[in-house]
Amino acid sequence: MSEPHGHISRGARLIELLPVFAALVLHAVAHGRWLVCAPAMVVMLWAVLAGVRLDYTPARLLLAGALGFAVGVVMLGVSVPPTAPFPPSIFGPVCGALVGLCVLCGLGRNRYYAWTYACLLVALSMRVRALPGMAWVLGAVVLSVLLVAFVEGGFLRTGLRGAVGFGVFTVLLVGLALLLARTVAASEGLLMDAVYRMTSGTGSGGGAEFQSQVDIRSISRIPRGSERALLVVSGARPERLRMRVFDAFDGERWTTSAALAKERLTLPSGGAGEERLLALTVLAPLGAWLPAPAGMRGVDGARPEVQGGWVMKGEGLEGTALVLHASPEERLPPEAAPGESLTTLPEELKAELRPLAEALTGKALTAREKAEALETYFHHHFEYSLDVNLKGEGSPLAVLVREKRAAYCTYFASAMAALLRTQGVPTRVVGGFAPEERNTLTGATLVRERDAHAWVEVYLADEGRFVAFDPTPWRSRDEALGLTQGPPGLLGNVVGAVGTFFRKLGAALRYHPMDQLRAVGSSPVFWALLTAGALWRWWRGRRTGGRVKAGRGALDTRDAKLAAAYARYLRTLKRRAGLVPAPSETDDELLSRLRAARGDAVADVAAEFLAHYREARYRGGPAGPARWTELVERLEAVLRLPVTDRRSSGPTPSPASTGSGPGSPRADRP
């Protein structure tokens, strides 16, 4: 099970495990999981001081993960459930499994594996908001990695190249933790939505269901909008993108009437110089509807069907780059006054809401004045919340307005539309997106799932058209959705631009792969790069042809494990001693250079490895992969020691380690 570890000092092993300790502390502080993390740290500390090392095997890895998972399950019943972006019943066992994997890999000296699992644990732990001291503990993770580099890794001896290499590794490690944390945040809405559906047995009012109807319930909860990107719009940022219009309300749900769904319209044309162009790319499926601003005049790249309410329907638009022609102002075209259907309500609801509407609209006379009065009222007296509880005396909308309960956009829009209908004002509810994330560097606006929104459109007789009003209190909405941070700086815009480019490319390759292949095949840039690459390969082959052929001939060996052991031996000499064999240099000549540069203790270990290697390579000796690995690890260990300690360590070389002089065979150099 375990064996004393004599090649690496206890202090070096402790330093090597510092990133794991820091990750465990961060998780314990963030989620109060000291009963899980503290025993794990004690076990690792005891194992290091006792010189114990666990052998790493896949079976033990699975066992450690299963044991940690089981401990996480048990902890749910004996401690406070951890705070997480998804249910504790999932989060607790998963984090327990990660703790078990960290411990096993740390005790087996598989430090990169241990650091990877620690990185995952850090990413999940960082999802706790407003955690005091989180930055300090995260900084301890970074500093511990750097300390490993300086003290245990011989960082100072590797020079500028080693400094740059380890700097890149550290940036990648920290970046991976931040990226994973962001990924968890991006998937939070989808994950919570799935859990909500499984536990409630009903839809949450999002996705395809939201596109067909809007339900008004006494109690409702929607997941926090995810970061999943749906659209990219280039050009002036539209204020709203319309998708569906709901004109029928039965007191519990808004739907699209059959008359409006059957109506077919023709987009108006505009004069020269009186339109703006928007480039739009659909990144993900949105059903059969094309989001577009009010005042559309045409679409290049598709032929959507224009239905009643000036909404556009189109199939298979994912991954397609479209050009939208729209009016300079987001205004719907003029149309005839609607019938009485847009002022109807169930009689009981109308009787309940009419006194509230009259009190709130006051002396307002026109439809515009009444709409503005209600819009202002909702802005100033309500708070946005993803959790809605409208239980009380009367209908949910009456409870909302009368008691100023917190709600989200569909409730505010429904309440405002119903109040206006009691006053004889034709009103409907509209669903779509209110995009906010604009990249000032590229002018592109990224529309995410969290930007889904609902508002009202009121028919104003003096204009002869429907006009948008939005009762949602935006300040508290941004706070509830975590959108209160300021605009990104230059670096953030650059990163965003690169991400948007790859999103568009990925959508095009996913939904229209053949079109992209044809576009690449017909591109002169592609053929120019292909020709340049071929010429470079030909020139390099002529320049180094002799050496390449000789090197390939030396690789002729049937034992892949033996070749891998020798390749690791050469990498160790390169990384730890800075020695790279010349094309015509023998192993004995390289060994002489190593002896001159690092002393007899190091060279003796290398000579012993070469002796076993030659015995297995040329005579079929009994030594196996375990022995080769042990010798290479011993070489790595002795190269880490200070120069003064090397002279008193190292094994006595075997007689075969001296080789056969200048004529000795040259070993493989993968």
Alpha-carbon dihedral sign for residues 551, 557, 560, 564: negative
User: Could you write out the DSSP letters of every residue in 354-416?
Assistant: HHHHHHHHTT--SHHHHHHHHHHHHHHH--B-SEEE--SSS-HHHHHHHHT--B-HHHHHHHH
Lowest mean pLDDT of 178-187, 464-473, 501-510, 522-531, name the range: 178-187
Pairwise CA distance, residues 78 & 80, whole Å: 7
Residues 227-232: what's their mean pLDDT? 84
Q: Is residue 122 part of a domain?
A: yes
Q: Compute the CA torsion angle 292, 297, 301, 304 (nearest 10 deg).
A: 70
Percent of the chain with pLDDT over 70: 73
Helix (H) or strand (E) holding 245: strand 241-246
Tell me, yes or no, whether 203 lies in a domain.
no
Distance CA 455, CA 211 (A): 14
Band of pLDDT at residue 669, cut at 50, 70 and 90: very low
Q: What is the mean pLDDT of the chain?
A: 76
Do the strands 387-389 and 52-54 form a parallel or antiparallel pair, or are they unpaired? Answer: unpaired
Give the integer Cα–Cα distance in Å for 390 and 399: 6
Instruction: Please indicate, yes or no, whether residues 72 and 165 belong to a single structural domain of this protein.
Output: yes
Q: Give SS3 for 449.
A: helix
Sign of torsion over alpha carbons 61, 66, 69, 74: negative
Per the listing, tokens 């004690």 go with 42
Asked if the model's pLDDT at residue 456 lies above 90, the reply is: yes
More confident residue, 634 or 214: 634
The answer on 321 and 410 residing in a single domain is yes
Residues 172 and 317 in one domain: no
CB 657 within 8 Å of CB 623 = no
Q: Which DSSP symbol is given to 292?
A: B
In this structure, of 155-164, 205-214, 343-352, the range with the lowest mean pLDDT score is 205-214
- Higher-scoring residue by pLDDT: 365, 644: 365
Q: Categorize the per-residue pLDDT at 177 as very low, low, confident or very high, splitting at 50, 70 and 90.
A: low
pLDDT over 90 (residue 75): no
Judge whether 634 lies within some domain. Answer: yes
Residues 95-138: pLDDT tens digits?
Answer: 888 888 888 888 877 777 787 788 778 777 765 544 445 555 55
Contacts of the segment 336-341: beta carbons below 8 A, 24+ positions apart: 337/426, 337/459, 337/461, 337/464, 338/426, 338/459, 341/247, 341/248, 341/257, 341/259
Does 192 lie in the same domain as 238? no
Q: 215: pLDDT confidence band, cut at 50, 70 and 90? A: confident
pLDDT tens digits along 85-94 = 555 667 778 8
Give yes or no for residue 486 having a pLDDT over 90: no
Confidence (pLDDT) at 521: 75
d(CA 104, CA 658): 39
Q: Could you read off the pLDDT of 517-537 as tens digits, one per residue?
A: 777 777 787 788 888 878 877
How far CA 526 is from CA of 293, 523, 530, 534, in Å, comes to 37, 5, 6, 12
Q: Which of 54-63, 107-116, 569-578 has the highest mean pLDDT?
A: 569-578
| CA atoms of 445 and 613, how far apart (whole Å) | 61
Question: Which amino acid belongs to residue 405?
Answer: R
Across residues 325-333, what is the average pLDDT? 89
CA distance 579 to 22: 35
**499: in domain:** no
Cβ atoms of 95 and 121 closer than 8 Å: yes
Task: Identify the domain containing residue 192 by its residue range.
Answer: 2-196
Tell me the one-letter amino acid at 592: S
Instruction: State the pLDDT at residue 259.
Output: 92
Q: Which two tokens stand for residue 143?
A: 């500093």
CA atoms within 13 A on the CB side of 411: 30
Between 111-125 and 134-147, two packed helices, what is the crossing angle to 10 degrees?
170
Boundary residue ending a domain (466, 485, 504): 485
Average pLDDT over residues 194-206: 35
* 370 or 555, higher pLDDT: 370
**CA-to-CA distance for 588 and 660, rounded, in angstroms?**
9
Banded model confidence at residue 665, pLDDT cuts 50, 70, 90 = very low
Split at pLDDT 50, 70, 90, the class of 195 is: very low
Residue with tokens 């052991």: 565
**Given this model, what pLDDT does residue 1 score?**
37
Residues 478 and 576 occupy one common structural domain: no
State yes or no: pLDDT of 198 exceeds 80: no
Is 10 a member of any domain? Answer: yes
Give the number of domains in the chain. Answer: 3
> What local confidence, expressed as pLDDT, does residue 181 receive?
54
For residue 140, pLDDT beyond 50: yes
Span 544-552, mean pLDDT?
42
Task: State pLDDT tens for residues 366-377.
Answer: 999 999 999 999
Q: Which of 455, 485, 515 is the last residue of a domain?
A: 485
Same domain? 191 vs 320:
no
Q: Which of 243, 317, 242, 329 is nearest to 284 (CA)?
A: 317
- The partner residues of 255 in beta bridges, in order of sequence, read 213, 248
Cβ(246)–Cβ(455) below 8 Å: no
pLDDT at 485 exceeding the cut of 80: no
Q: How confident is the model at residue 358 (pLDDT cuts 50, 70, 90)?
A: very high
| Lowest-confidence pick of 176-185, 292-301, 455-464 | 176-185
Question: Is pLDDT of 263 > 50?
Answer: yes
Same domain, 571 and 447: no
Residue range 488-502, pLDDT digits in tens: 778 878 888 888 887
Return the pLDDT at 212. Answer: 59
Residues 301 and 184 in one domain: no
CA geometry: angle 156, 159, 162, nearest 5 deg: 90
Q: How confident is the model at residue 205 (pLDDT cuts 50, 70, 90)?
A: very low
Single residue among 467, 485, 503 that ends a domain in this structure: 485
| 444 contacts: CB under 8 Å, gap ≥ 6 | 232, 233, 234, 438, 497, 500
Least confident of 36-45, 227-236, 477-486: 477-486
pLDDT value, residue 659? 41
Using 50, 70 and 90 to split pLDDT, how confident is the model at 378?
A: very high
Do residue 192 and residue 234 come from a single domain? no
Residues 338 and 251 in one domain: yes
Residue 649: count of CB within 10 angstroms of its CB: 16
SS (H, E, C) 156-182: HHCHHHHHHHHHHHHHHHHHHHHHHHH
pLDDT higher than 50, residue 352? yes
Q: What pLDDT shows up at residue 126?
A: 66
Give the confidence band of 574 by pLDDT, cuts at 50, 70, 90.
confident
Domain for residue 535, yes or no? no
Cα distance between residue 634 and residue 136, in whole Å: 37
- CA dihedral (320, 326, 329, 334) positive or negative: negative
**Per residue, what are the HEC states of 296-360?**
EEEEECCCCEEECCCEEECCCCECCEEEEEECCCCCCCCCCCCCHHHHCCCHHHHHHHHHHHHHH
**380 or 623, which is more confident:** 380
Q: What is the pLDDT of residue 481?
A: 75
C-alpha angle 272-237-453 in degrees, rounded to nearest 5? 120
Question: Residue 224 domain-assigned?
Answer: no
The whole-number pLDDT of residue 662 equals 36
What is the rounded CA–CA span in Å between residue 118 and residue 440?
A: 36
pLDDT digits (tens, 9 = 90+) for 597-621: 888 888 898 898 888 888 887 766 6
For residues 543 and 344, which has the higher predicted lDDT (pLDDT)? 344
pTM: 0.54
| Residues making up the chain, counted from first to last | 670
Residues 57 and 153 grouped into a single domain: yes
Window from 26-30, 413-417, 500-504, 664-668 with minimum mean pLDDT? 664-668
Give the model's pLDDT for residue 649.
47
**Alpha carbon of residue 495 to chain centroid:** 13
pLDDT at 530: 80
pLDDT recorded at residue 650: 46
Beta-carbon contacts of residue 199 (< 8 Å; ≥ 6 apart): none
Asked whether residue 217 is domain-assigned, the answer is no
Residue 159's pLDDT is 54
Residues 330 and 402 in one domain: yes
